[in-house]
Structure formats: structure tokens, C-alpha cells
Structure 1
Amino acid sequence: MHRTAAIPAFLIAAAISWFLWSWLGRPIDIVDVPRGHLQCLSYTPATDESSPLNAKDGLFHVPDGMVERDLKILSRYTDCIRTYSMLGDQGKTMKAAHEAGIKVLVGIWIGSEDRRNELEIDRALELAHQYPENVRAIVIGNEVMLRREMTAERLAGIIRSVKARTHLPVTYADIYEFWRRNPVLGEAVDLVTVHVLPYWDDPHPVAIDQVQAHARRIIEDTQKLFPGKTVQIGEIGWPSAGRTRSGAVPSRVNEARFVREFAAQAESIGVPYNLIEAIDQPWKRMPEGTVGGYWGMLDKDRNLKFPLTGPVSEWPQWRLAAAFTAAVSLVAFAWALLWRRPIMPARWLGLGITAPLVGATWWALGAQLGTIMLNNWWGWAWIGLLTLIAVIGGALLVYTVAGGRNVPRPAGFDGVLAAIRTRRFDGSQAIGAYHWVVMLTAAILAVSMAIDGRHRDFLQLAFWLPAAAFLLLYIQPATRELVREPQPEEAWIAALILIAGPFAIDQFTNLEACIWAATCVVLSVPWLEFVLREGARIRGAFRRPEAAGN
């Protein structure tokens, strides 16, 4: 009879798999980009192996023909690109733009090194004067004030010196705040180029529902600040992947919504715009975190990430995700049937709910890890560790919910060390070692997120499965009745996670941060009694000297 109950339970699991992913992958109606055409896109020719990160004196090599192929693809969606340097292979963009019939906002990278600045200026002017009909403007410096690499007066002097050498319009690009602080820059340029990046706004970014009004307000403030000057948007956009900041959620749908809503109202705003950026730049994940690599209209394989007209789905391959989730559920049910022991109908029902959640978590985590992964040994090791934590945690959760044989009590710190020394693990020591791997990794992440989380990803998808599994094991009567020796190591790790986890919450509107904090709390519960014992021991140690003094 217990096997018969598995049939309706599995049907529930299959239904959850289908309805969950069909809802997550539902098409979202968004306003179309007018004529399916974007005004201008930032473009940096780079690869995973060769980029500004490993450039020497601004020089790095890209494959032959790549720039030409890229601009041919981009010409389908825009007739303008913005560059950031013309040194070395980056200078190929001028000839390629000429051949593709594309205008260029010619970028000159300005920094703290005078020699590099001179090379940048000379090369950019040489190419701009070679193809003047393709030059929309020359951008002398990008966020130099934001990076605090020189004074405004010095930069204004550089702008004037370049202006004296060309008949083409010149500008400088930065966020509104640094234009406001440095009016001397507005006096030096022909037109004002302002960046509007609501995701990066501090102290709190702007949520997607308020972002269009926010962008219009910045443009209006810039126009009031420099009456009589032409204002253009040098960078504006939204990321498709990465961590949530306050109410700003990176996602495929949100990027599409931001770009398409802004493009639809651009004419009424009355300023030219440039979107950041044309193609995803995975190399930017190093300086800016995962989110830095996913601002492109096209992915790194040069595929359009979302259509410029018509509905957009967050999970366009949701049917495949649903099939995977159902397959995981099927494996979980087959595993439980192999135990050849009675399973109560309530446990089959629990498995019918838990198994698809495990499968959906694994699929979503796989997608997230694909955006995080760095193509080096450390990147592969980190992805492997997180995958191992989630896979074992999911299996342990399924086993516990379905009522498998009693899982042995996880060995404490001393027991795990003894097993490592002897290289012999029993069941208790093996699960204890896994528990320690989970807790140590979570502790490192929790502290890192609390201290400096701006560029770090929330990884609750990797940790909620073991957190739930160990919590279920902890609340089982057989485990609760065990007499457990004080474990100071467990106490301090649990306290660290418990305290640091909630510090990652920048605002309570940040659902991702709140879920991460809740996961940290749940992870700490099985070791919470050790925290209380250790606290009592420390208090007692402080009281004893007082008693001795009396």
C-alpha cells in the first residue's frame, strides 16, 4: 500500500515542476523599441583571454576579423557605437565602423599617467581625422573624476588642448554628481555627456518601477546645470545577471524592460543616448563582480539576449527546466522505492513537494553558477565546491523527508579531525565533515557579504538545501534526545554565521538579501545550543575572578 501512495505524490511533483517553471518562464509584455533600432551602443573589443585587464600600456590583442564581424552584427540594431580607447587593436573599430556605415563616439582613455594619455590622444586624433565622416564626437576621458585620478582643472586643460587640435566636437563623460562638483569641465567641452546608471546609485539604487522617472530627473538637472550646452547620455542601461542591490534586481526581463521603456521615451526626453553596452564583457566580473559582465544587448556569443519587440521571458527554456525538475523528482521517488520499507503517505506527499523544489534549485543554481564561473582553476574549484554542497544537501533533504534510515548524528570537530588523521570515515564522521564544509564556506561568505558585499553574489541557492536538511535532522526526536558534548568550535562558527548573515541586508526591499540572511539563521540553528553553552562558559569565566576577589 505504501508504494501505491507514491503515484499521486509523484503526480503532484510533476505538476509542481510544470506549473512552477511555466510561471517563471511566462512571457512578459513590454513596450517595443521604436523601429527595433537603438541609438548607440558602447563597444569594447575583448575576449576572456585578452582584455583591458591584461593590457600592457593599453595594448591587448583580439582575434583577426573579430571587430569587423562584431560591427557587422551590431549594424542590425544600431548605427552608432561608443569606444573607450583607440590604442592597438581597439583602433580597428574606426575602419570597421567606416565599412559598416556606423558613427563613432571616439573614446580617449585618460588616467593618471601622462605618457599613456599622450599616446591615447595622438592615436585617437589620427584615426578620427582619417575617418571624420564617421565621428559623432570625441570623448576625452571616462569617469576620471569618479576614479579620482586627477583634478578637474588638470582634466579641463587636457580637454582644451585636444580641442585646439581638432575641428570635431569634444566632450567628457561622467555621472551627474561630478559634473555638478566640477563646473570647469562644462566650460571646457562642446557638449556634456552624462552617465545614468541607476543600478550603481548610492547609497541605494533605484528599483525598476521608478527608474525611468529617475533617469528623466537626472537629465533635467544636467540641462539646468549647463544651460545652453548640448547634453547627451553617455552610458545608460541595466544588468541581466548578478546580485540584487536594495530594490534593483538584475534579470533578463528587467534589462529588457529598462532598455525598451527608455528607448520608447527617448524622443520625448530630447537627448541622444548611448546604451551600455553592445556585448557582454565577462572580463568585467573581476573588477565589478558578476554583475559587471552582463550589461550587453548581446551575450558573449553575439546572440541577442532578448528581442527588441514582443514579449520577453525570464526563462525562455522553461520547458527544459521543467523536464529536468520532473526527472529529478522521478529519480528521488525511484530511490525511495528501492529502500523496500514502508513509507507513510504523509512522507510521500512531503517528497512530492520537496523533490521538485530540489530539482528547481539545482537548475537555477546551475544557471547562476554559469554567470559566476571564472575560467581558471580557482573558478572551477569554487563552482565545484558550491555544486557539491547543493547536490549533497538536496540528496540529504530528500532522504530525510522521505524517512530513510536514521541518519547518524554528525560527528563534532574532534571526530572529524580524527577521521582525517586516520583517513577512515564512518557515517557519523562523513556527515560531520560535510556539515563542517557547509558551515565553514557559509561563514566565509557571510562575513565577506557583511564587510564588503557590493560586488559579491548572494548564494542562498547553494545553501538552503543543506540548511533545511540539517534543520530537519536536528528537530527529529531521536536527534534531540541525544546528549551532545559542548563543542566550542561549532559554537563560534554558528555565532559568526548568525551575526554576519543579516548584515548583508542593505534594505528590506532586497528580497535576495533577506533570503540569504534567513538561510544563515537556519544554518546556525543545529549548533545554536553550542552557542548558548559557550556564552554561558564565557560569562562564568568572567564571574570567577570576581568571586575570587570577594
Structure 2
Amino acid sequence: MRPALLLPTVGGPVLVGVLFIALWAWLGRPIAMPDIPDGHLQCLSYAPSNGNTAPQDKGFTLPPGAIAADMAHLRTMTDCIRIYSSVGHEGEAIPAAQAAGLKVLVGMWIGADDKRNAKEIDAALALAHAHPDAVKALVVGNEVLLRREMTGEQLADIIRSVKARTTLPVTYADIYEFWRRNPVVADAVDLMTIHVLPYWDDPTPVSIDKVQAHVRTIIDTARATFPGKPLQIGEIGWPSAGRTRGEAAPTLVNEARFLREFAQQADALGVPYNVIEGIDQPWKRGPEGTVGGFWGVLDASRAPKFPLQGPVREWSHWGTGAAAALAGLALALILAPAGAVSPLGQARTTGLALVGAATGSVAWAFGAQALDFAMGPMITAWGLYLWLLAGAGGVVLARACAGLPALPPRLALIWRWLVLAPATYAALAMAADGRHRDFLTLAFVLPMLSLAWPRAAGGQPGDRPASAAAEAWMGLVILVCGPLTIDSMLNTESQAWAVVCLGLAFACREAISAELAFLRGRLFPARPQG
């Protein structure tokens, strides 16, 4: 090919490549924010962790020296830890913390089981009295009232019984609302421990831009309600991964920004605080969804997730994302059939490059999301399926951009089911019980486009009545459920998911129309004339 003809052919793909490199560079740009004073946080929640197994589960084990190693990591960024139980490995954290020069907020896990409560109290008091210099306070129960496991009067009785057995400060930890409802508990403790977790606020959490004022309001309200009562913040933090709730987006930059801005104002608030948490707890993804496993300052491998001082990047390895985009672009052009890439098909060549780069980017970005929520073989397999589905969607689109015929009818039917069946499940699950579920926009955006473009995946299954009826009902479920996930007009993640759902429903429009016409005929049959 002569250079004069080659230039317009490569111009479009080169421009696409430059744009995707710029996009990834922007996503990975350094974000300036305030530093944490002295690079130290006052206190960090800690629970021994070995991955997906909870510390309280039977069979939970730790390698020798694991807790001591954790204390060495945490000692570099704090002078204090908070534990939630004093039984088993969690109790071992107290002597390990003292050896590392850390103070401890010693927890007792109190609940509806009286025998376990007695075991927790006895263990905590024995350890605290054996290491009194390491103990800042005894925390008798964590969110017991929030879980509705006992009344305020019952809890106050337990707190008073603990106080009768020690001279150490005694407290209880819960969100402000349950302190307000149960003043008898406030009367029983030496100091109040309040949890401030704006991400979990209902009905709609505030954005990262408004959250520090929100924190100040909670503390000011607590002080006004219980004047003269000492208080501390027992949990405060922000997650780095998971689904957006309202305006609260869990990202690495937002976690770093929240902690840094809060640490900057902590002295002005005049209240001691504990950050949840020191180390990511992957097992919490089970009860709380992806977001539950990503509140740590250190990741599960004990590496810092972000610096406590200096700029922070959301995608620190943005170059890999850019490389994935370029790899997708190159593969799309290399694997295109002869004649698809030519000077006479500049728009087609550019479109092919765009689809390839988008597929590479989606594969990298959704791969990261799937790794975040992968827990156990079933969910891991679900993530792998969706990752392959996203890539296959890019392939179907690339075929159309290359000028190849639409998928043959039988293959098109299989492809529609491979996309619509999991999309129906995802849309229904998100609408019915989405609090702890991730938005799967990246997994379905390319498959949605492939179905919405008849040239890519073929037309509607009009000649297959049974398939058309099933597709119609899947499309209707997706159409109704998608917009129901929008919990705030400022939640762009939920809006993007709703758009993808509407696109999938649009791809089913002919089947939906035929099914509705069929139902009208059955419900309102035409009256015979004459």
C-alpha cells in the first residue's frame, strides 16, 4: 500500500489510541488533598484475617507470628488499635499490641447469647487486667442495639456489671440514633463511643464533598443531646470499592480524601477517633457485599492502599489499562478480514479501532471489579462468566464494524439468551435487594450494544414464538427493574446501569410488542360482528 493511501487508513486508529491513552492517564492522574498530620491516625480497628474466613468461624487459623506482624505494620501509622472480641485469636492481639507499643480499645462481642456474653466478658477482663497499661477502655458490645439483640435496659445492666469488676473506663459503641433512643445506656457508661459511617446512612448518603460537615453535625448533635458526657468516635471511615449509594461513591481517592480531611479537622472537633479499619477484611464481602471488604488503610496483603501524605491516584497502574486498550485496538485491526481495513473504509476502520480499544479497556476495568467481588467458587465463576460475556460483546460488535454479516439465526438466539438471562437476574436482584450488590454496567454495556444493533447480532426472534415470548418477559423485567435502582439523581453509577437496562429492553422491543399484542388479544378478544 502506498504511503499516501496508508496515512488516512491509520489516522483514525491512531487518533483512537491517543484518546484512550489520554482517558486512562486522566483516570490515573494524581489528586492533591490534605495530608494526615504527621502521617499518623489516632486509632485503627483490627481483626485477625486470613482471607475469606471470618475470625469467629470454626476452623479459623492463622500462621504463627501473623498478629505480631500485623502490629508491626499498624505501628507505622497509629498508636492504638480497637478489637471487637477478646476470645480466640482476637484476644491474642492485646499482648501483641502491648509488645508493639500500641494501646488497645478492648472489645467484648455482646449479643443475644448469654453464655457467649459471659465468656466474652470474662476473657476481656482477664486480658485487660493482665495488660492494664495497654488498655484505653473496655468496649462492652458493638451495635447490639442496632442489631436489635437486646433492649437498652438489658444492655445497661450488663455494662454496670462489667463496671463493678474493673476500674478501667467502660463504654459501648453504636451509631448516634441508638444512643438517642436509649439514654439509659449513656447513663451506664463512662464515655460514649459513637459510630459515624456516612456511606451507610439511610435513606441517601451524602457525597464526599459534603461529608465533613455531616460528620460535624452528628458530633455537635450528640454533644447537645448528652451535655457534659465524654465521647469518642468508635468507627469512622469510607470504603474504597463497591457500589455507589446515593451520592457516596466508594473509590480509593474518596477513601483517602475522607480520612485525610477528617484527620485535619479532628483536633478542631476535640474528639478522639478510631478509623475503621486498619486492614481490609475480605470475608466481610459475604455479609456486606463487595464494599464490606474494602475499608482498610492497608489491603489484605498488608500493603498501603494509598499514602497518608502527598497526592493519590485512583488507577495507579493506569498504564496497564492504556496498554489493554491498545492491545484490543491492535487485535481488532489484525484479526479483521481482508478488505475491512482499507483507505476506502476509513469510518469502518476507525469504528473497528474504537470497538477494540473499548473492549480492551472494559476487559481491564471490569476484571478489576470482578476480582474485588470474587468470593468463593460460585461468585468467582459468575465474575468470570461476566468478564467473558463483556469480551464476547466486543467481538460481536467488531464483526459488525468489519462488515461481516450478522450472526446466523441459531447463533444469534444463543447469544441473546447468554446476555438477557443473566441481565434479567442482575436487574431483578439489584431492584429487589441491591443494598449489598454491585452495579454490573461494565459487564453488560458491550453486549447491550451488540443486541441493540441488528447488524451485529441479527434481528428479533419473530420466527421463534417460544423464544420471542421468553425474550419479551426478560425485556419487560429489565425495563421495569433497571430504573428502580436509581436512589439519587446524583448517583451516576445507578443511572448508567439504568441506561444499560433500557438499552437491553430496547433490543427486545419487537418481542415485547408482540407479546403485549398477544396478551391484549387473550384478555380483550374481538367481539364477533353481526
Q: CA deviation at 1:355?
A: 2.3
Report what 1:135 is aligned to.
Answer: 135
Q: Distance in 1 between matches of 2:125 and 2:341?
A: 79
Pick from 36, 39, 62: which aligns with 1:36?
39
Residue identity in the other structure for 1:345: Q
Q: CA deviation at 1:547?
A: 3.0
Q: CA deviation at 1:475?
A: 8.8
Name the CA shift for 1:153/1:548 in 2 (closer, same or farther; >3 Å): farther
Residue identity in the other structure for 2:491: N
Any idea what SS the aligned residue of 1:305 has? coil
After superposition, residues 400-419 of structure 1 pair within 5 angstroms as: 400-403=400-403, 405-408=404-407
Any idea what SS the aligned residue of 1:513 has? helix
Q: Distance in 2 between matches of 1:287 and 1:380?
A: 16
Report what 1:522 is aligned to.
Answer: 503
After superposition, residues 321-360 of structure 1 pair within 5 angstroms as: 321-336=321-336, 338=338, 344-360=345-361
Residue identity in the other structure for 1:50: T
Partner deviation per Cα, 1:281-310 (whole Å, 9 max, x = no partner): 000000000000000000000001000000
Q: Distance in 1 between matches of 2:226 and 2:215?
A: 17
Question: TM-score normalized by structure 1?
Answer: 0.92
After superposition, residues 148-547 of structure 1 pair within 5 angstroms as: 148-336=148-336, 338=338, 344-374=345-375, 376-403=376-403, 405-408=404-407, 427-473=408-454, 479=459, 484=463, 486=465, 487-544=468-525, 547=527
Q: Distance in 2 between matches of 1:3 and 1:170?
A: 77
Are the equivalent residues in 2 in contact too, given 1:31–1:261 (CA < 8 A)?
Answer: yes
Q: Distance in 2 between matches of 1:284 and 1:115?
A: 25
Partner deviation per Cα, 1:326-383 (whole Å, 9 max, x = no partner): 1111111111254667561111122233322221111110110110111x32123212
Q: CA deviation at 1:532?
A: 1.1
Any idea what SS the aligned residue of 1:78 has? coil
Are the equivalent residues in 2 in contact too, given 1:3–1:337 (CA < 8 A)?
Answer: no
Are the equivalent residues in 1 in contact too, given 2:111–2:150 (CA < 8 A)?
Answer: yes
Name the CA shift for 1:71/1:406 in 2 (closer, same or farther; >3 Å): same
Q: Distance in 1 between matches of 2:405 and 2:158?
A: 74
Report what 1:51 is aligned to.
Answer: 54
Name the CA shift for 1:110/1:7 in 2 (closer, same or farther; >3 Å): same
Q: CA deviation at 1:474?
A: 5.5
Q: CA deviation at 1:10?
A: 2.0
Are the equivalent residues in 2 in contact too, given 1:12–1:353 (CA < 8 A)?
Answer: no
Are the equivalent residues in 1 in contact too, given 2:52–2:282 (CA < 8 A)?
Answer: no
Please state if 1:25 is matched with 2:24: no
Pick from 12, 15, 18: which aligns with 2:18?
15
Residue identity in the other structure for 1:391: G
Any gaps of 5 or more consecutive residues in structure 2? none
Q: Distance in 1 between matches of 2:281 and 2:449?
A: 36
Q: CA deviation at 1:52?
A: 3.5
Q: Distance in 2 between matches of 1:333 and 1:5?
A: 15
Any gaps of 5 or more consecutive residues in structure 1? 409-426
Q: Distance in 1 between matches of 2:78 and 2:88?
A: 24
Q: CA deviation at 1:50?
A: 3.4
Residue identity in the other structure for 1:146: L
Any idea what SS the aligned residue of 2:524 has? helix
Count of residues in correspondence between the two structures: 524
Report what 1:71 is aligned to.
Answer: 71
Q: Identify the range of structure 1 (339-348 vs 240-249) with the bigger mean alpha-carbon deviation.
A: 339-348
Are the equivalent residues in 2 in contact too, given 1:233–1:274 (CA < 8 A)?
Answer: yes
Q: Distance in 2 between matches of 1:463 and 1:298?
A: 31
Q: Distance in 1 between matches of 2:464 and 2:92?
A: 69
Name the CA shift for 1:428/1:341 in 2 (closer, same or farther; >3 Å): farther
Q: CA deviation at 1:13?
A: 2.3
Are the equivalent residues in 1 in contact too, given 2:330–2:353 (CA < 8 A)?
Answer: no
Any idea what SS the aligned residue of 2:206 has? coil
Q: Identify the range of structure 1 (71-80 vs 341-350) with the bigger mean alpha-carbon deviation.
A: 341-350
Are the equivalent residues in 2 in contact too, given 1:235–1:273 (CA < 8 A)?
Answer: yes
Q: CA deviation at 1:186?
A: 0.4
Q: Distance in 2 between matches of 1:281 and 1:475?
A: 43
Are the equivalent residues in 2 in contact too, given 1:5–1:348 (CA < 8 A)?
Answer: no
Are the equivalent residues in 2 in contact too, given 1:6–1:333 (CA < 8 A)?
Answer: no
Q: CA deviation at 1:49?
A: 4.9
Q: Distance in 2 between matches of 1:361 and 1:502?
A: 23
Any idea what SS the aligned residue of 1:138 has? strand
Q: Distance in 2 between matches of 1:220 and 1:63?
A: 44
Any idea what SS the aligned residue of 1:195 has? strand
Q: Distance in 2 between matches of 1:98 and 1:491?
A: 64
Q: Distance in 1 between matches of 2:527 and 2:241?
A: 58
Name the CA shift for 1:433/1:76 in 2 (closer, same or farther; >3 Å): same
Residue identity in the other structure for 2:345: M
Residue identity in the other structure for 1:499: V
Question: TM-score normalized by structure 2?
Answer: 0.95
Name the CA shift for 1:117/1:105 in 2 (closer, same or farther; >3 Å): same
Q: Distance in 1 between matches of 2:137 and 2:184?
A: 19
Are the equivalent residues in 1 in contact too, given 2:406–2:455 (CA < 8 A)?
Answer: no
Q: Distance in 2 between matches of 1:548 and 1:119?
A: 80
Q: Distance in 2 between matches of 1:332 and 1:165?
A: 72
Any idea what SS the aligned residue of 1:54 has? coil
Residue identity in the other structure for 1:380: T
Residue identity in the other structure for 1:353: L
Name the CA shift for 1:341/1:36 in 2 (closer, same or farther; >3 Å): closer
Any idea what SS the aligned residue of 1:193 has? strand
Residue identity in the other structure for 2:353: G
Q: Distance in 2 between matches of 1:225 and 1:499?
A: 44
Name the CA shift for 1:475/1:316 in 2 (closer, same or farther; >3 Å): closer
Q: Distance in 1 between matches of 2:345 and 2:56?
A: 58
Are the equivalent residues in 2 in contact too, given 1:12–1:352 (CA < 8 A)?
Answer: no
After superposition, residues 110-149 of structure 1 pair within 5 angstroms as: 110-149=110-149
Are the equivalent residues in 2 in contact too, given 1:276–1:295 (CA < 8 A)?
Answer: yes
Q: CA deviation at 1:485?
A: 5.2
Any idea what SS the aligned residue of 2:145 has? helix
Residue identity in the other structure for 1:536: A
Report what 1:103 is aligned to.
Answer: 103
Percent of aligned pairs sharing the same letter: 49
Residue identity in the other structure for 1:114: D
